[in-house]
Amino acid sequence: MSKPTVRYENLGLIDYKDAWDYQEKIFRSTVDRKIRIRNGEKLSPSENHIIFCEHPHVYTLGKSGDKKNLLLDEDNLKEKNVKYYEINRGGDITYHGPGQLVVYPIFDLDYFFSDIHKFLRYLEESVINTLLEYGIKSTRLDGLTGVWIDVGKTSPRKICAIGVKTSRWVTMHGIGFNINSDLSYFSNIIPCGIQDKAVTSMEKELGCKIDMGEVSNILKEKLSTQFDFSYII
């Protein structure tokens, strides 16, 4: 079987809803094409996509989340110029904003492996290996999806949240990786519904601003290595 290919796009700073609509368009097209092929239509295979971007300040609540974990009312949200969406990924509430690298893999896992748990672990491993390039040791926390620092110590800190949706082994949504994030925005929510653990960023851990483009390029390479695919630009 030949190595899968993935079409890469970097959308820069983009409104969350605009990016969500764009993901949905690609996702629905991919799922629809799979159904039509399985029904006997002679179509070219669907493509895999990966989108890198940042968002203006926004809180998103996953379909299994609890709105009580948003600690602001509508007036507070308007006052702070933060948007809020209830969305169709797994997981609870999280924050996206400038300085956070967001990655949306829209993969047909039939090209890789039919195992959503393995898919999540591969996303985590790609972030873990990216952080190692900066001398930051991170790992997983049993029972909780994402990437953490100082697990097993008195103050474990989450540096990357991961939440996805799948249908017919096609994925969407993905990674929120705190690079230079304004962490004060996390104080307005109970991140991922977890009350007793802190959130951090690369900037906070290293004590200086980090080159977002450099991190993006490293993570881009780590993802292709971990999943063993080639990029189409």
Question: Does the model's pTM come out above 0.75?
Answer: yes
Here the tokens at position 114 are 């039919």
C-alpha dihedral sign at 97, 98, 99, 103 = positive
What is residue 195's predicted lDDT score, i.e. its pLDDT? 60
Cα–Cα distance measured from residue 211 to residue 55, given in angstroms and rounded to the nearest whole number? 17
DSSP state of 112: T
What is residue 129's predicted lDDT score, i.e. its pLDDT? 98
Cα–Cα distance measured from residue 102 to residue 112, given in angstroms and rounded to the nearest whole number? 22
Question: Does residue 196 carry a pLDDT above 70?
Answer: no
pLDDT in tens, 111-152: 999 999 999 999 999 999 999 999 999 999 888 889 999 998
Question: Does residue 64 carry a pLDDT above 90?
Answer: no
Cα–Cα distance measured from residue 188 to residue 72, given in angstroms and rounded to the nearest whole number? 6
Which CATH homologous superfamily contains domain 5-54+96-181+198-232? Bira Bifunctional Protein; Domain 2 (3.30.930.10)
Please say if 192 is a catalytic residue: yes
